[in-house]
C-alpha cells in the first residue's frame, strides 16, 4: 500500500515549471528539435497542422502515418503528436523516389 505522506509542497507556478521541464526533457530524449524555440518552423503539432503544411488533406496524413511513411519523423504520447517538418519532408521525398506515394503527393513534393 502506498503511504500518502506529503513529500513536497509546490505552488502552482512551481508545479507548472516542473511539468514543463520534464516534458521538455522527454521530448529532447526522443530527438525532437524545436521545442522551446520562439519560431514554429521546425515542429507541426497535430495532423491538421501537418496537413496544412504539406497542403494535403488530414485523411491523407492519417493514411501516410498508418502506412509508416512518417516513421521516425514524429513523436506521439496518447493523442498528442508532434511532427518534425524536416524529417517529414525527407520521408515524403523518399516515398516519391520509391514511387510509393500517391500521384497527387508526388506532384506536390516535386
CATH code 3.30.420 for 37-109: no
Q: Mind listing the pLDDT tens digit for each residue in 9-34?
A: 888 888 888 888 887 777 776 665 55
Q: Could you write out the three-class secondary structure of 56-107?
A: CCHHHHHHHHHHCCCCCCEEEECCEEEEEHHHHHHHHHHHHHCCCCCHHHHH
Q: Mind listing the pLDDT tens digit for each residue in 78-100?
A: 888 999 998 988 888 887 777 66
pLDDT for the residue 33: 54
| Residue 82, CA atoms < 13 Å, CB-side half-sphere | 18
Q: Where are the domains of the chain?
A: 37-109
**Residues paired with residue 84 on neighbouring β-strands, in sequence order:** 43
Residue 81: CB atoms within 10 A of its CB come to 18
Left (φ > 0), alpha (ψ -120 to 50) or beta: where does 61 sit?
alpha
pLDDT for the residue 100: 63
Q: Which of 88, 57, 56, 61 is nearest to 72 (CA)?
A: 88
Record the pTM.
0.55
Q: Mind listing the pLDDT tens digit for each residue in 37-69?
A: 544 578 889 999 999 988 888 998 898 888 888
- At residue 15, φ and ψ (nearest 5 deg) are -65, -45
Q: Which three cell numbers stand for residue 108?
A: 506536390
Amino acid at each position: 500500500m502506498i503511504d500518502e505522506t506529503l513529500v513536497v509542497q509546490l505552488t502552482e507556478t512551481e508545479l507548472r515549471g516542473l511539468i514543463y521541464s520534464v516534458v521538455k526533457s522527454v521530448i529532447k530524449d526522443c530527438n525532437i528539435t524545436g521545442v522551446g524555440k520562439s519560431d514554429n518552423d521546425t515542429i507541426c503539432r497535430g495532423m491538421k497542422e501537418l496537413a496544412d503544411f504539406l497542403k494535403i488533406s488530414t485523411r491523407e496524413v492519417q493514411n501516410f502515418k498508418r502506412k509508416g511513411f512518417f516513421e521516425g519523423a514524429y513523436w506521439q504520447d496518447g493523442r498528442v503528436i508532434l511532427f518534425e517538418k524536416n524529417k517529414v519532408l525527407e520521408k515524403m521525398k523518399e516515398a516519391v523516389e520509391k514511387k510509393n506515394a500517391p500521384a497527387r503527393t508526388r506532384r506536390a513534393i516535386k
